[in-house]
Amino acid sequence: MNPPEAPLLAVRNLHTRFHTLDGVVNAVDGVDFEVYPGETLGLVGESGCGKSVTAFSILQLLRCPPAEIQGQVEFEGVDLLGLDKEAVRRIRGGGISMIFQEPMTSLNPVLKIGEQIAEGVRVHKKMTHRQSRRWAVEMLRMVRISSPGSRARQYPHKFSGGMRQRAMIAMALSCRPRLILADEPTTALDVTIQAQVMELMQELKKEFNTAIVLITHDLGVIAEMASRVVVMYAGKIVEEAPVREIFKDPRHPYTRGLLGSIPVIGRKAETGRRLQEIPGVVPSPMEAPPGCRFHPRCSEALALCSTQPPPVIRLTDNRCVRCWLEAGDNEKKTSDFV
Amino acid sequence: MLNYLVKRLISTIPVLIGISLLLFFMLRMLPGDPAQVLAGQMATPQEIENIRHQLGLDRPIYEQYAIYLGHLARFDLGRSARTQNPVSQEIWARLPNTLLLAVVAMGLACLLGIPAGIISALRPYSWIDYAVTMTALFGISMPVFWLGLMLVVLFSIILKWLPAGGTGGWQYVILPSVTLASFVVAFIARMTRSTMLETLSQDYTTTARSKGLTEKVIVVKHAFRNALIPIITVVGLQFGMLLGGAVLTETVFAWPGIGRLIVDSILARDYPMIQGTILVFGLLYILVNLAVDFIYAFVDPRIRYD
């Protein structure tokens, strides 16, 4: 069951196209999902399947043109795609903020860390310079950066990768947003730092009841943080389920492939099997295969899969899958995601 | 920082010696005899010989250079062969004029070129971008002396708004500095455009946008500050072009600066004066580049001189 409240964010039929010299690229092709207050939604898939473009489309951070965004992105009941630039600007950082993948390049090298946190606060919280600087130091303390007072006066090159990502989290949380879009927040960090950053995000999320859309290709991160999971493939959502169920009983062959390719210590010794992989790569959005986009890589594909796009099958109240394998065996009704 | 400054200042000495060496021998490869020029057409061979002896030109060339270098070490640039005044005195009298022209022209070039470059970068491939590109191309392609003459024709002769040449109040500065700036402004606009295009597409600019900052803050505080280093580099390098351009501009506008002094001295084969002025140009160029290196450290916190 979905939480009973109204969704904080409802993405409906989102399409993001890029008009390039080689033709139109459908990076996001009809994506629907909802995020409820305080929950963590995992958005998973391989590189190039449209996860990041989805997040960038929500905050309209893509350059238009070449990008063209269509559909609905309702945040607290208001469609962001229908708002003017000024209203969107007020949502950015205030209502929805973002954490980026590359802490090394996402901070401005010529501005002090404290100022980079404070400038957003001044815009959204109407603070003076002095108040915002003090606020920035408090935020750095909150993400457990030692001696935050002097650290706030330093430039990003004095910070390590993990510290930069903490500073980024401090920046994202500084205006107490209701939603954070975290685009691969731990991918560029080494494993021990990853664990620390994830733990920190969990704690802060609890403290402020912030909802998170966690974009990652790392299912370990999903298992630890997310309550629900949306699996994307080639610009479309292929499966949506609560996190426990997706690990226990993945229904889409792609999800099964992703889960099968996680190395488990000792598995080969037990079963004698090598680590599984999904053969091939995500197709370019410009030459998406007909029918189910996954069929060329799918070991269970039917004849139907290569000609007809699969319907979305609602399995239970909170589980959907886009696959012909689930359609044939009974009269489950087709539906939309969400 | 201070150590670095001292090191850099000391390292200018070999550069200046190199300049003086090249200059000295290249000048003496020029056709024409300074003694003949000074003595005039009607002079007897004996008179010419006397002048040659007076100037030390009858000694072996390496000896002449050694003497010259010895004087240089004592900051003595010698006396002008033409006017008999000390070279340094003549240069000091004209240096402020040349610097005034260079600084005004550079200020003008930055004031026009940087905003033009930013606007082009904000709307790449728009009509305004093409207009800036075309104007820049025009500015780069036009010979300085020709543009100077055209400006004189338009503003002094036809419209009678500004004086055609000479010195006096601010109105005398306008035409020569506009002429000088025309070349540099194009470079600055092009460099600003390409660097801004790059910084505007950097991750930190997206971060700034995701924070809900206004477009003005994103462009000026985030993108432009990061674009400053290459722009400052171009400004520093172009300063040398300004000095070179001054030679032509000062001649066209009868502006009493070092540029015209060089031209006059070359025509008179006034070796000490040519050597002195070009050495001063070299020194100015070195100092400007030194200043640029120090400005880097203020603009970019990652650059430190220890």
Contacts of A98 in chain B (CB under 8 A): 207, 210
Sheet holding A23-35, edge to edge: A23-35, A9-20, A67-75, A78-79
Residue B79's contacts (CB-CB under 8 Å, 6 or more residues apart) are B85, B86, B87, B272
Q: Would residue B257 be called left, alpha or beta, if left means φ above 0 and alpha means ψ between -120 and 50 degrees? A: beta
Nearest CB to A123; choose among B206, B212, B302: B212
Instruction: Tell me how far apart the alpha carbons of residues B194 and B178 are, in angstroms, rounded to a whole number.
Output: 24
Cross-chain residue pair A108–B207, CB shorter than 8 Å: yes
Peptide bond into A296 cis (omega under 30): no
Q: Are A140 and A114 in contact (CB under 8 A)?
A: yes
- A94 CB within 8 Å of a chain B CB: yes
Cross-chain residue pair A109–B302, CB shorter than 8 Å: yes
Which segments of chain B are extended strands (E)?
none
Nearest CB to B211; choose among A102, A157, A171: A171
Residue in B125, B207, B209, B215 to test binding to A, most A beta-carbons within 10 Å: B207
Half-sphere exposure of B61 (CA within 13 A, CB side): 8
pLDDT of residue A1: 44
Confidence of residue B203 (pLDDT cuts 50, 70, 90): very high
Q: Are B171 and B162 in contact (CB under 8 A)?
A: yes
pLDDT of residue A35: 94
Q: What percent of chain B clears pLDDT 70, i.e. is strictly above it?
A: 100
Confidence of residue A283 (pLDDT cuts 50, 70, 90): confident
Cross-chain residue pair A120–B213, CB shorter than 8 Å: yes
Query: Quick check: A274 pLDDT over 80?
Result: no
Residue B254's contacts (CB-CB under 8 Å, 6 or more residues apart) are B165, B166, B260
For chain B, give the mean pLDDT: 88
Confidence of residue B266 (pLDDT cuts 50, 70, 90): confident
Instruction: Tell me how far apart the alpha carbons of residues A31 and A325 are, in angstroms, rounded to a whole number.
Output: 21
pLDDT of residue A335: 61
Instruction: Tell me how far apart the alpha carbons of residues A268 and B6 are, in angstroms, rounded to a whole number.
Output: 66
| CA distance to A190, B185, B252, per residue, from B109 (Å) | 48, 4, 20
Q: For B35-84, how does the pLDDT look when each residue is reduced to its tens digit (9 = 90+)?
A: 887 777 788 888 888 888 887 888 888 888 998 888 888 888 888 888 88
Q: Residue A151: exposed, middle, or buried by beta-carbon count in 10 A (0-12, 13-18, 19+)?
A: buried
- In the block, tokens 């300063």 appear at B239
Which spans in B154-270 are helix H?
A: 171-200, 203-210, 215-217, 225-252, 258-267
- Considering the entire predicted model, what is its pTM? 0.82
Query: Quick check: B305 pLDDT over 80?
Result: no
Instruction: Tell me how far apart the alpha carbons of residues A35 and A52 are, in angstroms, rounded to a whole number.
Output: 16
Residue-range domain boundaries for chain A: 109-158, 252-328
Q: For A183-198, how does the pLDDT look when each residue is reduced to its tens digit (9 = 90+)?
A: 988 887 788 888 888 8
Cross-chain residue pair B225–A111, CB shorter than 8 Å: yes
**Nearest chain A Cα distance for residue B126, angstroms:** 13
**Nearest chain B Cα distance for residue A185, angstroms:** 13
Contacts of B301 in chain A (CB under 8 A): 109-110, 155, 157
- B302 CB within 8 Å of a chain A CB: yes
Max CA distance (Å), chain B? 85
Report the candidate in B226, B227, B199, B231 with the shortest Cα–Cα distance to residue B109: B231
Q: Count CB pairs under 8 A between chains A and B.
A: 74
pLDDT of residue A193: 81
- A157 CB within 8 Å of a chain B CB: yes
**Between the ranges A43-52, A64-73, A112-121, B39-48, where is the mean pLDDT highest?**
A112-121
Cross-chain residue pair A89–B206, CB shorter than 8 Å: no
pLDDT of residue A71: 93
Interface of A with B in 97-156 (CB under 8 A): 97-98, 100, 102, 105-111, 119-120, 123-124, 155
Query: Quick check: B88 pLDDT over 80?
Result: yes
Closest residue in A to B225 (Cα) is A110
Half-sphere exposure of A186 (CA within 13 A, CB side): 22
Cross-chain residue pair B300–A110, CB shorter than 8 Å: yes
**Sign, CA torsion B299/B302/B303/B306:** positive
Q: What are phi and psi of A213, to 5 degrees?
A: -100, 110
Residue type, position B36, single letter = Q
pLDDT of residue A213: 94
Q: Stretch A298-324: mean pLDDT, rounded?
A: 86
Q: For B130-152, how does the pLDDT look when each residue is reduced to its tens digit (9 = 90+)?
A: 999 898 888 888 888 888 889 98
Residue-range domain boundaries for chain B: 2-73, 91-299
Cross-chain residue pair A109–B204, CB shorter than 8 Å: yes
For chain A, give the mean pLDDT: 86
Q: How large is the C-alpha radius of gyration of chain B?
A: 24
A81 secondary structure, DSSP code: G
> Higher confidence at residue A326 or residue A73?
A73
pLDDT of residue A298: 85
Which CATH number is B91-299 given?
A: 1.10.3720.10
Q: Residue B57: exposed, middle, or buried by beta-carbon count in 10 A (0-12, 13-18, 19+)?
A: middle
Cross-chain residue pair A100–B225, CB shorter than 8 Å: no
Query: Quick check: B1 pLDDT over 80?
Result: no
Instruction: Tell me how far apart the alpha carbons of residues B32 and B38 are, in angstroms, rounded to a whole number.
Output: 11
A212: helix, strand or coil: strand
Instruction: Tell me how far apart the alpha carbons of residues A293 and A296 are, in angstroms, rounded to a whole number.
Output: 7
Cross-chain residue pair B211–A61, CB shorter than 8 Å: no
Cross-chain residue pair B210–A93, CB shorter than 8 Å: yes
